[in-house]
Amino acid sequence: TQLLEQSPQFLSIQEGENLTVYCNSSSVFSSLQWYRQEPGEGPVLLVTVVTGGEVKKLKRLTFQFGDARKDSSLHITAAQPGDTDLYLCAGAQRNAGNMLTFGGGTRLMVKP
């Protein structure tokens, strides 16, 4: 059982649709990061959220950290084919030396 559960694992949608990816845990995180990753490349950091209830926006992407800092969501508005990628959440726990624990990832495909 993974410490961070991401859902859905796979998502295939049409261009222009909205979508939400969820990252859930029973553990509290001091911070949570979202990455996107192209095939065969390293993950690229999108955002870091650190405060419970925090909302951050990055163009068409909206990130939210749960009030209890146990969960997070990524919402994409009007998805475009260029959004196609693997999306990863990763949490840091202070009592684990702030090492990152990754979720299993959500593979998003946006069809034109």
Partner 1 sequence: DAGVTQSPTHLIKTRGQHVTLRCSPISGHKSVSWYQQVLGQGPQFIFQYYEKEERGRGNFPDRFSARQFPNYSSELNVNALLLGDSALYLCASSWQQGRYNEQFFGPGTRLTVL
DSSP secondary structure string for all residues of 37-78: E-TTS--EEEEEE-STT-EEEETTEEEEE-TTSSEEEEEESS
Closest distance of CB 5 from partner 1, Å: 11
Binding of residue 96 to partner 1 (CB under 8 A)? yes
Residue 44 structure tokens:
């690229």
What residue has token string 């009592």? 95
Closest distance of CB 95 from partner 1, Å: 12
Contact predicate 83/108, CB 8 Å:
yes
DSSP-based three-state secondary structure for 111: strand
Closest distance of CB 111 from partner 1, Å: 21
Site for partner 1 in 47-86 (CB under 8 A): 48, 50
Binding of residue 13 to partner 1 (CB under 8 A)? no
Binding of residue 104 to partner 1 (CB under 8 A)? yes
Positions touching partner 1 (CB under 8 A) are 2, 4, 6, 30-31, 33, 35, 40-45, 48, 50, 88, 90, 92, 94, 96-105
